[in-house]
């Protein structure tokens, strides 16, 4: 099994990912502190929530000259902006929304820095990569499902808090994270088959 030697490139990659990881923690901690201070001083939060809904005509565009017909601007997503009181339930909801995104970024970066650290320690690349890639795939799939559940809660909140008559909200799933996670799981299975074939070949020799 191929072993990565301790190279300057591997050390640079490892140290860079370490710096990024610590920077993410510092940024997240600073953001939470500023969020708490802002809510305490103002007594409210200005929220901007992305919402998705069935296709809706947002505007009719008139042509400048006669070469074009009337244009129809359709949309199925928007940003809902409103203010909420800085009470405990709202703070928990806000921290959960931002915290889930922060957790995904930090966890994925942590797996990547551990992989790069293995390079500089001359660890076997293939077995180490299988575990790390598998964890990243599970994180992405879990995040897509968690985000979908969060949208369910947000939509129910919007229906109860605002009058919506012209369109219906939809429950959009983050297919990008889901598909990437599934692809990574397939890559892991390919790695496993490759390792098994390599070990069988060595035993035959």
Would you state the structure tokens that stand for residue 9, as one six-digit string?
Answer: 């490139």
Q: Are 164 and 158 in contact (CB under 8 A)?
A: yes
What pLDDT score does 82 carry? 82
Predicted confidence pLDDT, tens digits, the chain (205 residues)? 444 445 566 677 778 888 999 999 999 889 888 887 887 788 888 877 788 888 878 788 888 877 778 888 888 888 888 888 888 777 777 887 788 888 889 999 988 888 777 665 554 455 667 888 889 999 999 989 988 888 888 888 888 888 887 778 887 777 888 899 999 898 888 877 777 776 777 676 6
Q: Residue 60 gets which letter from DSSP?
A: E
Task: Provide the pLDDT for residue 176.
Answer: 87
pLDDT of residue 2: 45
Name which of 182, 70, 92 is nearest 136 in CA terms. 182
Quote the pLDDT of residue 118.
Answer: 63
- Residue 4: per-residue pLDDT: 44
Q: Which residue has the tokens 């203010």?
A: 83
- Encoded tokens for 48: 């901007």
- Would you state the pLDDT for residue 7? 59
């Amino acid at each position: 099994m191929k072993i990565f030697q301790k190279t300057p490139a591997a050390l640079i990659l490892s140290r860079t990912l370490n710096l990024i990881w610590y920077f993410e923690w510092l940024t997240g901690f600073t953001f939470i502190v500023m969020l708490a201070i802002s809510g305490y001083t103002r007594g409210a939060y200005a929220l901007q929530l992305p919402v998705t809904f069935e296709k809706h005509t947002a505007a009719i565009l008139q042509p400048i000259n006669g070469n074009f017909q009337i244009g129809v601007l359709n949309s199925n997503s928007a940003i809902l902006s409103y203010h909420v009181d800085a009470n405990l339930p709202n703070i928990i909801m806000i921290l959960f929304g931002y915290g889930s995104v922060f957790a995904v970024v930090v966890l994925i970066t942590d797996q990547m820095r551990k992989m790069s650290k293995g390079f500089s320690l001359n660890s076997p690349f293939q077995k180490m990569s299988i575990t790390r890639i598998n964890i990243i795939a599970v994180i992405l799939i879990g995040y897509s499902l968690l985000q979908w559940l969060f949208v369910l809660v947000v939509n129910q909140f919007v229906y109860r808090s605002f009058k919506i008559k012209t369109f219906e909200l939809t429950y959009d799933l983050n297919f990008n994270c889901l598909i990437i996670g599934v692809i990574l799981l397939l890559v892991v299975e390919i790695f496993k088959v490759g390792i098994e074939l390599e070990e069988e070949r060595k035993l035959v020799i």
